[in-house]
Chain A
């Protein structure tokens, strides 16, 4: 009880802090810098690694991987981060690393707000995604943005949800002299977009893959997700850049994500078949082999709420009723 009260107080204090910043404006706003660092994971391919955390005012929503690639005639960007401010700082970083070249293409891997809310700083005509991602952003983008304001306060100043204008359906496209293979998958959400740079062999998986960070499931379909993982396993690549976590040459991100999903699926099925309440299911211990996976307990508890009723409707026997 005491613990709960303290953390609640801390929480409200943090919230009040963010409100204060939103009110006091200009001068203070400039203090909020993401300190983005680009690491060159392959020749002319940079990844901006986010922290393996959940959204907080401290991290400003910088919990996601974004990437940019120098191609012969310009720059290709993969995902744009959680806010307009992030997008601006990403753009600064791009012009430092690749001075004088225009951004030719921006890909959005899916509609989760940490991946596309920097879109605003790019020319809408070059932002591209599958139609499913565009539909999801159009349907849910505003509500997602509102909630990001709530969570991140002034970090979000001026951010609006901007959907891609270019709906993709081809299996390949050439951007500025570089061929990219495009994969239309699902499972993490109803539309997950994977991009491979065919010159370097770097595969940008979006949130179909998590490395050393528990997968999130608010829009997940675990069956579809498993099929997508099987396809990714069979896809040629030299390096995977997951949506969250470090780069991966050996496919460990596939193993880790699948292992977590299998455990989650099995645990929840078992709990529903025993007639457990959601609260009882949430108390299941996280197996030791996931000790290196960040935010496991939090994401597991969230997943119980996201998925439990689907399992109940599938696994609890239907009963004949008399009216």
Chain B
């Protein structure tokens, strides 16, 4: 910002140099920037006609079914109906529901349950960063013990976003995901009786969140900041804390041209004595610079939480975080 009204705003030479450098390194960079631009400005949907959506997903469903070692001939309407009958009808009417249920929720009874709150915007303003907050504490209030929270994007090329195990934490997790196209964000919460409590919401998104390179690759020195961490720990009640952490990582999906898969895969939070508070397994669709919000259960006498993180290349990052004894709102 110039101090004079008459000063000419300078176009940052650093920025243009970076843009040129990255364009020569990666020809798809320009397209990637373009995609980011629309997402940022509008965040409105890739407008798919319902017909084209069904057609695409039908191909996907057939492809995945044969990938499941069934022959294409087996994927008849009748066998699909039989498979679908195992699960309740999907209130989100996703063409991928049965496949998602078979792949992720087949080891227990499946019910759609509004006690699983899945909060996400209706439109993805930026398809690289779609914020999601899952709160299944209503199940805990009804006496259930939550073992796992599994978050999926049905129509992503890689649907599994993350799995969180609240060993000694509220059934709560906040994260951001990349969306390849408009998709349901679906969350299954497994309780100790073996039941999957499922809920979710559709998010409309412009295309490309999973196949575009991470913004980090625009900076040639991105490796230097790998694992750089920011975090906040607060105490919400005598027994409950809130941890927000943000770690530098490109979270490469392996789907962007020429960039191999490389992502933060595990984040574990423990007490000083090693007691597990929460384990999070992250997958490719988690947004670049993964930012997680958890609510570990810690007594006022527990003053430190220990965080261990590891990525798919075996890089490990650990840190201790002091938790205040006083409650802050």
- Minimal beta-carbon separation of B16 from chain A (angstroms): 8
Within 8 A of B (CB), among A88-137: 112-113, 130-132, 135
**A146-B125 Cα distance, complex, nearest whole Å:** 16
Tell me if B170 counts as interface (CB < 8 A to partner A).
Answer: no
- Minimal beta-carbon separation of B193 from chain A (angstroms): 24
Q: Are B11 and A184 in contact (CB under 8 A)?
A: no
Q: Are A184 and B5 in contact (CB under 8 A)?
A: yes
> Which residues does chain A contribute within 8 Å of B206, judged by CB atoms?
147, 150
Q: Are B319 and A317 in contact (CB under 8 A)?
A: no
Interface size for B (C-beta < 8 A) is 71
Tell me if B274 counts as interface (CB < 8 A to partner A).
Answer: no
Q: Are B131 and A186 in contact (CB under 8 A)?
A: no
Among listed B34-42, B81-89, B101-109, B260-268, interface-contacting one: B34-42
1/0 per residue B132-151: CB within 8 Å of A? 11000000000000000000
- Minimal beta-carbon separation of B156 from chain A (angstroms): 18
**A301-B119 Cα distance, complex, nearest whole Å:** 13
**A76-B119 Cα distance, complex, nearest whole Å:** 48
Kindly state the interface size class of chain A when it binds its partner.
Answer: 35 or more
Tell me if A33 counts as interface (CB < 8 A to partner B).
Answer: no
**A144-B243 Cα distance, complex, nearest whole Å:** 37
> Which residues does chain A contribute within 8 Å of B119, judged by CB atoms?
279, 283
Q: Are A318 and B44 in contact (CB under 8 A)?
A: no
Tell me if B111 counts as interface (CB < 8 A to partner A).
Answer: no
**A222-B46 Cα distance, complex, nearest whole Å:** 29
Q: Are A151 and B44 in contact (CB under 8 A)?
A: yes
**A79-B33 Cα distance, complex, nearest whole Å:** 25
Among listed A64-72, A256-264, A284-292, A305-313, interface-contacting one: A305-313
Q: Are A277 and B5 in contact (CB under 8 A)?
A: no
Tell me if B78 counts as interface (CB < 8 A to partner A).
Answer: no
State whether A185 and B5 are in contact (beta carbons under 8 Å apart), knowing that A131-B11, A278-B131, A319-B230 are contacts in the complex: yes
Could you list some 13 contacts between A and B, CB below 8 A? A143-B35, A151-B42, A184-B7, A273-B232, A275-B243, A275-B244, A306-B40, A318-B228, A318-B229, A319-B245, A321-B317, A321-B318, A322-B318
Tell me if B77 counts as interface (CB < 8 A to partner A).
Answer: no
Most buried by A among B38, B204, B244: B38
Tell me if B316 counts as interface (CB < 8 A to partner A).
Answer: yes
> Which residues does chain B contribute within 8 Å of A151, judged by CB atoms?
42, 44
Q: Chain A residue with minimal CB distance to B10?
A: A132
Q: Are A305 and B230 in contact (CB under 8 A)?
A: no
Most buried by B among A1, A235, A277, A280: A277
Interface residue from B43, B46, B204, B229 paired with A319 (Cβ < 8 Å): B229
Q: Are A321 and B228 in contact (CB under 8 A)?
A: yes
**A4-B120 Cα distance, complex, nearest whole Å:** 12
Tell me if B183 counts as interface (CB < 8 A to partner A).
Answer: no
Q: Are B5 and A169 in contact (CB under 8 A)?
A: no
**A7-B123 Cα distance, complex, nearest whole Å:** 11
Tell me if A191 counts as interface (CB < 8 A to partner B).
Answer: yes
> Which residues does chain B contribute within 8 Å of A190, judged by CB atoms?
9, 11
Interface residue from B5, B227, B318 paired with A231 (Cβ < 8 Å): B5
Tell me if B258 counts as interface (CB < 8 A to partner A).
Answer: no
Tell me if B297 counts as interface (CB < 8 A to partner A).
Answer: no
- Minimal beta-carbon separation of A227 from chain B (angstroms): 5
Tell me if B291 counts as interface (CB < 8 A to partner A).
Answer: yes
Tell me if B69 counts as interface (CB < 8 A to partner A).
Answer: no
Interface residue from B11, B49, B120 paired with A132 (Cβ < 8 Å): B11
Q: Are B91 and A171 in contact (CB under 8 A)?
A: no
Q: Are B293 and A171 in contact (CB under 8 A)?
A: no
- Minimal beta-carbon separation of B234 from chain A (angstroms): 6
Tell me if A36 counts as interface (CB < 8 A to partner B).
Answer: no
Given contacts A15-B47, A221-B1, A318-B230, 17 further A-B contacts (CB under 8 A): A1-B201, A5-B92, A5-B93, A15-B45, A19-B49, A139-B19, A150-B206, A184-B5, A185-B5, A274-B234, A280-B174, A309-B291, A317-B231, A319-B230, A321-B318, A322-B319, A323-B316
**A169-B11 Cα distance, complex, nearest whole Å:** 13
**A219-B234 Cα distance, complex, nearest whole Å:** 32
Tell me if A249 counts as interface (CB < 8 A to partner B).
Answer: no
Tell me if B220 counts as interface (CB < 8 A to partner A).
Answer: no
> Which residues does chain A contribute within 8 Å of B281, judged by CB atoms?
none
1/0 per residue B158-190: CB within 8 Å of A? 000000000000000010100000000000000
> Which residues does chain A contribute within 8 Å of B10, judged by CB atoms?
132
State whether A12 and B49 are in contact (beta carbons under 8 Å apart), knowing that A140-B34, A184-B9, A186-B1 are contacts in the complex: yes
Interface residue from B42, B202, B231 paired with A55 (Cβ < 8 Å): B42
